[in-house]
């Protein structure tokens, strides 16, 4: 988490590879922790890691015709 904070605070623009690498390191570590926690204690955290595929699925659920009707009214 500290590495991500340092990378984010020293960001050199959008798409900074050091921020992206730190982000994925935190996400990977979280998944390892979540799996170990579940295996040892049958417990989970209240946190969830979202990836780009989740965002695309949510966007595809939007009914464009319904949105147009709302705008036209």
pLDDT at residue 54 greater than cutoff 70? no
pLDDT at residue 34 greater than cutoff 80? yes
Position 49 confidence tier, pLDDT thresholds 50, 70, 90: confident
Mean confidence (pLDDT) of the chain: 82
Count other C-beta atoms under 10 Å from residue 7's C-beta: 19
17-30: pLDDT as tens digits:
999 999 999 999 99
Q: What are the C-alpha distances in Å from 13 to residues 4, 5, 8, 10, 39?
A: 15, 15, 10, 9, 39
The C-alpha atoms of residue 10 and residue 2 are separated, in whole angstroms, by: 12
Quick one: pLDDT at residue 51?
75
- Span 13-42, average pLDDT: 96
């Amino acid at each position: 988490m500290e590495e991500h904070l340092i990378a984010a605070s020293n960001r050199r623009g959008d798409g900074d590879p050091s921020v992206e690498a730190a982000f994925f390191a935190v996400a990977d570590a979280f998944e390892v922790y979540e799996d170990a926690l579940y295996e040892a204690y049958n417990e989970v955290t209240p946190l969830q890691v979202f990836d780009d595929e989740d965002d695309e699925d949510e966007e595809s659920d939007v009914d464009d015709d319904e949105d147009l009707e709302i705008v036209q009214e």
